Amino acid sequence: MTTVKEQKFEAMAVKRETYQLIINGVRQDSVNGETYKVYNPATGEEVATVAKASKEDAELAVQAARNAFDFGKWRHFPVNKRSRTLNKIASIMRSRFNELVELEILDTGKSLAAAQGQVMQAIEDFEFYAGAIVSHRGAVNSMPGAFQNITEKEPVGVCAQIIPWNYPMMMAAWKIAPAIAVGCSVVVKPASLTPLSAILLGEICIEAGVPEGVVNVIPGSGSVVGNYLVEHDKVDKVAFTGSTPIGKDIMARASQTLKRVTLELGGKSPSIVFEDADVDAAVAGSLFGIFYNTGQSCEARSRLYVHEDVYDEFMEKFVAKTKQLKLGNPFEKDTHVGAVISQDQMDVIDGYVKSAVADGAQVLTGGKAANLEGYENGYWYEPTIIADTDHSMKAVKEEIFGPVVVVMKFKDEKEAVKLANDSEYGLGSAIWTKDYGRATRVSKLIQAGIVMINCPFSAFPGTPFGGYKQSGFGRELSIETLDLYTETKSIVSYYGSRPLNPFNV
Ligand code: NAP
Ligand code: MG
């Protein structure tokens, strides 16, 4: 086994037959030699064989991360050196952009345009944090008397970072970039279904000069490896993106060692189309809002509320345009909607659609698996619009996480806000109106971490991303994320000329 100390970490082809764990700066098999296969959800074809981490590997990864944090030099590098390394990671990613995009498509079945946007954003995340970290600092506070307080921001330590399958590359970047920017060490646990881009990102970090043990990547089962990391007493923080039930479980387990926890969880985000909206823009934005990434987005705008005065016009256009969306070859530039991640997820989606129908709702388009020539062994679901719904229905209350939107009418602003907030989630939201006052009013009343006004996009480096209510807490993608990877230390000193003697004895 060679380490980065002894030998330059050599880049390998992005696309290959096997992928190993990354522990302590070394590609390695799992301790017990176990592997598993990953498949392309668009075609059902095998993509690669991946080393499968066990608890033993997780232990090695935690030890490597701990060692790097406690005794290594990364956190003590001058900040400009860490910044330069993050920029180097970004530049290596840029130089392999097309290969990374190809691999992300094979691993997830998502469309070319979606994968390109997400890999590009992952690159920009590293560039953003390369800049942000340079000005991230503590404070000096004036105090009464001859006292001075220096407030330092110190890296929190070893971070377990648990990643979902819907945006594998982007979520890995959202987590790794700010953590290593401040000087933490990380153990990344990608989703079992989509581990490849996180492994590559780990390799690229080491190639760019991140010292051994700072970034470790260990694909393996969530309930085994994930749990092990969450309960480990040498792990200081858990950052998790995934479903709300697993997030609750993680928070409970992490409480035993009082780990710092940030959670990016599920959503059921509302989109409100007011009577004065630009209807065509609202239709276009709503299409993207739900069907982008095949609806497998935590901030998918999956509840659509349309004012009764424009309902008929909006729905006629919305249904017609939904029928025009192109599914199929993910590598074609004009494919709008890619595959669903797995058969299990297909069953979940179809179950929700059937429940809505059983509850009396109407499927206006879609509502079933899509049959695509040449893609019979993949997982495809038709973009689906369900109308005549209400808030008693399971399909309206719960997250579906697929290309399915439920639609309702409303009468006035007050009712729209009430309906939008009637959810246990609070991640994204959208408002379509030309009335600036209304947009401002409603955006203040909505209980969500993100409000999009006449806009279908929400995730930009520098813009805080995260939820209210049961969509989790903590923000990613922003300056404040850096604080969530640091501890605040108050150093209080006395600079008076007379020695202090508080007991006066
Ligand atoms: P998930 O089942 O919660 O899994 C997410 C990650 O957690 C995976 O890596 C999974 O590993 C791991 N995991 C599972 N059980 C665990 C446990 N007991 N302890 C520790 N880790 C565990 O969610 P998913 O099915 O991958 O993703 C879909 C969900 O993620 C949706 O509900 C969606 O809303 C949410 N999401 C939220 C955001 C956001 O920013 N708020 C972003 C993306 C996705 P395995 O793969 O091995 O099961
Ligand atoms: Mg899962």
Tens of pLDDT, residues 104-113: 999 999 999 9
Domain co-membership, 197 together with 284: no
Q: Give the pairing of strands 237-241 and 158-162.
A: parallel
Nearest-CA residue for ligand 1 atom 20 is: 226
Please report, for the domain that includes residue 335, its CATH number. Answer: 3.40.309.10
The model's pLDDT over 458-488, given as tens digits with 9 standing for 90+, comes to 999 999 999 999 999 999 999 999 999 999 9
Please state the rounded mean pLDDT for residues 147-169.
97
Give the torsion through C-alpha atoms of 27, 103, 286, 448, to 10 deg: 0
Rg (CA), the chain: 24
The model's pLDDT over 184-218, given as tens digits with 9 standing for 90+, comes to 999 999 999 999 999 999 999 999 999 999 999 99
CA of 166 to the centre of ligand 1 (A): 9
Which ligand 1 atom minimizes the distance to the CA of 345?
25
CA of 344 to the centre of ligand 2 (A): 10
CA of 296 to the centre of ligand 2 (A): 13
Q: Which residues pair with 215 in a beta bridge?
A: 186
Which ligand 1 atom minimizes the distance to the CA of 165?
26
Catalytic residues: 264
Instruction: Give per-residue burial for 344-383: e unless 16+ CB within 10 Å, then b.
Output: ebbebbbebbeebeebebebbbbbeebeeeebeebbbbbb
Is it the case that residue 6 has pLDDT exceeding 60? no
Asked if 80 contacts 90 with a C-beta cutoff of 8 angstroms, the reply is: no
Q: Tell me how far CA of residue 424 lies from CA of 178, 218, 319, 399, 427, in angstroms.
A: 29, 33, 28, 10, 10
Asked if the structure places residue 217 within a domain, the reply is yes
Domain co-membership, 236 together with 346: no
Asked if the structure places residue 402 within a domain, the reply is yes
Which ligand is closest to the CA of 298, given by its number? 1
Domain co-membership, 300 together with 366: yes
Mutating to test ligand 1, I would choose from 50, 246, 468 the residue with most ligand atoms within 8 A of its C-beta, which is: 246
CA of 345 to the centre of ligand 2 (A): 9
Q: What is the pLDDT of residue 95?
A: 98
Asked if the structure places residue 485 within a domain, the reply is yes
Three-class SS of residue 223?
Answer: helix
Q: Helices 112-132 and 168-182: crossing angle, nearest 10°?
A: 10
Please report, for the domain that includes residue 478, its CATH number. Answer: 3.40.605.10
The terminus-to-terminus CA distance of the chain in angstroms comes to: 63
Three-point CA angle 28, 29, 30, nearest 5°? 120
CA-closest candidate to residue 476, choices 485, 484, 465: 465
Which ligand 1 atom minimizes the distance to the CA of 465?
40
Which ligand 1 atom minimizes the distance to the CA of 242?
30
φ, ψ for residue 69 (rounded to 5)?
Answer: -75, -45
Nearest-CA residue for ligand 1 atom 48 is: 222
CA of 30 to the centre of ligand 2 (A): 22
pTM to 2 decimal places? 0.96
CA-closest candidate to residue 85, choices 95, 77, 96, 97: 77
Domain co-membership, 282 together with 341: yes
The model's pLDDT over 416-458, given as tens digits with 9 standing for 90+, comes to 999 999 999 999 999 999 999 999 999 999 999 999 999 999 9
pLDDT above 70: percentage of residues in the chain: 99
Three-class SS of residue 31?
Answer: coil
The amino acid occupying position 465 is: F
Mutating to test ligand 1, I would choose from 161, 248, 255, 298 the residue with most ligand atoms within 8 A of its C-beta, which is: 298
Which ligand 1 atom minimizes the distance to the CA of 247?
3
Q: What is the pLDDT of residue 142?
A: 86
Q: What is the pLDDT of residue 270?
A: 98
Domain co-membership, 254 together with 364: no
Q: Tell me how far CA of residue 408 lies from CA of 290, 351, 463, in angstroms.
A: 15, 20, 30
CA-closest candidate to residue 171, choices 116, 111, 105, 239: 239
Q: What is the pLDDT of residue 241?
A: 98
Domain co-membership, 182 together with 57: yes
Nearest-CA residue for ligand 1 atom 30 is: 242
Please state the rounded mean pLDDT for residues 126-132.
98
Domain residues for the domain of 90 are: 22-265+471-490
Pocket of ligand 1 (CB under 6 A): 162-166, 189, 191-193, 221-223, 226-227, 230, 241-243, 246, 249-250, 264-267, 298, 399, 401, 427, 467, 471-472
Which ligand is closest to the CA of 428, given by its number? 1
Mutating to test ligand 1, I would choose from 54, 125, 162 the residue with most ligand atoms within 8 A of its C-beta, which is: 162
Which ligand is closest to the CA of 266, given by its number? 1
> Dihedral of CA 94/98/103/104: which sign?
positive
Please state the rounded mean pLDDT for residues 67-92.
98
Asked if 331 contacts 105 with a C-beta cutoff of 8 angstroms, the reply is: yes
Q: What is the pLDDT of residue 2?
A: 45
Domain co-membership, 216 together with 315: no
Is it the case that residue 4 has pLDDT exceeding 50? no
Domain co-membership, 197 together with 323: no
pLDDT above 90: percentage of residues in the chain: 97
Asked if the structure places residue 85 within a domain, the reply is yes
Domain co-membership, 296 together with 258: no
Position 300 confidence tier, pLDDT thresholds 50, 70, 90? very high
Distance CA 353, CA 13 (A): 42
Which ligand 1 atom minimizes the distance to the CA of 467?
41
Domain co-membership, 92 together with 182: yes
Domain co-membership, 45 together with 83: yes
Q: What is the pLDDT of residue 342?
A: 98
Supply the mean pLDDT for the chain. 97
CA of 394 to the centre of ligand 1 (A): 21
The pairs formed by 365-373 with CB atoms below 8 angstroms and a separation of 24 or more are: 365/319, 365/322, 365/323, 366/322, 366/403, 366/404, 370/327, 372/327, 372/328
Position 9 confidence tier, pLDDT thresholds 50, 70, 90? confident
CA of 431 to the centre of ligand 1 (A): 28
Domain co-membership, 443 together with 305: yes
Asked if the structure places residue 312 within a domain, the reply is yes
Asked if the structure places residue 382 within a domain, the reply is yes
Domain count, the chain: 2
Is it the case that residue 331 has pLDDT exceeding 80? yes
CB neighbours of residue 418 within 10 Å: 13
Asked if the structure places residue 501 within a domain, the reply is no
Is it the case that residue 325 has pLDDT exceeding 50? yes
Which ligand is closest to the CA of 193, given by its number? 1
Is it the case that residue 1 has pLDDT exceeding 80? no
Q: What is the pLDDT of residue 501?
A: 96
The model's pLDDT over 36-79, given as tens digits with 9 standing for 90+, comes to 999 999 999 999 999 999 999 999 999 999 999 999 999 999 99
The model's pLDDT over 340-355, given as tens digits with 9 standing for 90+, comes to 999 999 999 999 999 9
Task: Note the helical H segments in 109-243.
Answer: 112-132, 168-182, 196-207, 227-231
Is it the case that residue 3 has pLDDT exceeding 80? no
Q: How many helices (H) and strands (E) does the chain have?
A: 15, 23
CA of 243 to the centre of ligand 2 (A): 8
CA of 163 to the centre of ligand 1 (A): 6
Position 500 confidence tier, pLDDT thresholds 50, 70, 90? very high
Is it the case that residue 5 has pLDDT exceeding 70? no
Query: At which residue do the structure tokens 């890296």 appear?
Result: 155
Which ligand is closest to the CA of 194, given by its number? 1
Residue 434, both tokens: 């030309």
| Length of the chain counted residue by residue | 505
Which ligand 1 atom minimizes the distance to the CA of 263?
41
Nearest-CA residue for ligand 1 atom 11 is: 222
Asked if the structure places residue 463 within a domain, the reply is no
